[in-house]
């Protein structure tokens, strides 16, 4: 039985960065998030794919012990095309073809309903709400989103935020959603909706954690090789909740640690396209980078 449920997208991505151009590669919020989480926990994925989705992409997740019994198959896969310029902090979406996502009505397999940790990765907020309603007694629900859903489904998104414990957003999305240039004010507005914690990711500049009375700022790893940041946010959040699920400790102190584990995994992810770099690393590499993060933060 998975102790961590991840709902999100399994996509085919076309990505262009100053360091290369690739088409039809494995992407999607649930791919990166579940792979990252699998270093710590046993995730089960809820998602939808088309018949055109390559079998080897699913095999890669299965090899990590990820349960895919919640993945439905429809006609055509969700496709996303994005590009980055030298400022790799922001993806420019060139095309979004929702395809199978528009017909998706998630039904959780029985064994998923008792999951205690839930990650609502970036997907239609109406689907995020449907997933939450089917989990019996979650201990912690973490949620991510992106500008596409802020623009197209803001009401459902705000409704979903009321039902969760930790909101993860990047800085641009936080400003857009809460209509303020100030991240502290955006975090306060998010906390008012109900979550106990808000994490604002700042791309290559780290991440901020806000709770009602505390604030934590995590630095970023000084990467020499950045080829493709696609999926870093998902890998970050997957690593974050994976660590919390493994330790079964949702204290603010442990969330700080989880942010560093998430940042360590996300930093590896940026070193190559798709999941290519994550495929090469082990728990030992993550521990080593965690140690480097620790040292960088000391003064």
By CB under 6 A, name the binding residues for ligand AMP.
9, 11, 13, 27-29, 80, 91, 96, 122-123, 146, 148, 230-234
Toward ligand AMP, which CB reaches closer, 13 or 116?
13
- Residue with smaller CB distance to ligand AMP, 74 or 113: 74
Q: Which residue is nearest to ligand AMP (CB)?
A: 27
Task: State in angstroms the smallest separation of the CB of 6 from ligand AMP.
Answer: 13
Q: Are strands 92-97 and 79-83 parallel, antiparallel or unpaired?
A: antiparallel
We find the least distance from the C-beta atom of residue 78 to ligand AMP, in angstroms, to be 7
Tell the smallest beta-carbon distance from residue 146 to ligand AMP (Å): 6
**7 vs 135: CA distance, rounded Å:** 12
Closest to 265 (Cα-Cα) out of 295, 234, 227, 225: 234
The pairing of beta strand 207-211 with beta strand 197-201? antiparallel
Q: How far apart are CA 131 and CA 115, in angstroms?
A: 12
The residue (of 159 and 252) whose beta carbon lies closer to ligand AMP is 159
CA angle 239, 10, 108 (to 5 degrees): 85
Smallest distance from ligand AMP to CB 298, Å: 29
Give per-residue burial for 118-136: e unless 16+ CB within 10 Å, then b: bbbbbbbbbbbbbbbeebe
Pick the closer one to ligand AMP by CB: 48 or 116. 48
In angstroms, give the least distance from the CB of 295 to ligand AMP: 26
């Amino acid at each position: 039985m998975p102790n961590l449920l991840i709902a999100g997208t399994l996509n085919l991505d076309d990505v262009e960065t100053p360091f290369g151009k690739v088409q039809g590669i494995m992407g999607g919020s649930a791919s990166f998030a579940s792979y990252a989480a699998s270093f710590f926990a046993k995730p089960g994925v809820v998602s939808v794919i088309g018949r055109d989705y390559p079998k080897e992409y699913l095999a890669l997740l299965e090899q990590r012990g990820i349960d895919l019994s919640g993945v439905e198959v429809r006609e055509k896969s969700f496709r996303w095309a994005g590009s980055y310029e030298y400022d790799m902090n922001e993806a420019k979406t060139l095309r979004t073809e929702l395809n199978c996502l528009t017909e998706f009505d998630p039904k959780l397999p029985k064994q998923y309903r008792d999951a205690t940790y839930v990650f609502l990765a970036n997907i239609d907020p109406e689907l995020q709400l449907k997933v939450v309603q089917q989990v019996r007694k979650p201990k912690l629900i973490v949620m991510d989103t992106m500008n596409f859903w802020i623009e197209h489904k803001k009401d459902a998104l705000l409704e979903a935020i009321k039902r969760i414990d930790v909101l993860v957003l990047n800085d641009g999305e936080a400003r857009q959603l809460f209509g303020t240039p100030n991240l502290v004010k955006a975090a306060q507005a998010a906390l008012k909706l109900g979550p106990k914690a808000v994490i604002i990711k700042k791309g290559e500049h780290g991440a901020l954690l806000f709770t009602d009375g505390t604030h934590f700022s995590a630095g970023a790893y000084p990467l020499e090789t950045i080829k493709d940041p696609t999926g870093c946010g998902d890998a970050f959040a997957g690593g974050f909740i994976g660590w919390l699920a493994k330790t079964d400790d949702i204290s603010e102190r442990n969330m700080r640690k989880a942010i560093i584990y998430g940042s360590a995994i996300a930093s590896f992810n940026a070193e190559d396209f798709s999941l290519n770099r994550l495929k090469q690393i082990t728990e030992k590499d993550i521990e080593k980078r965690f140690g480097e993060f620790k040292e960088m933060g000391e003064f």
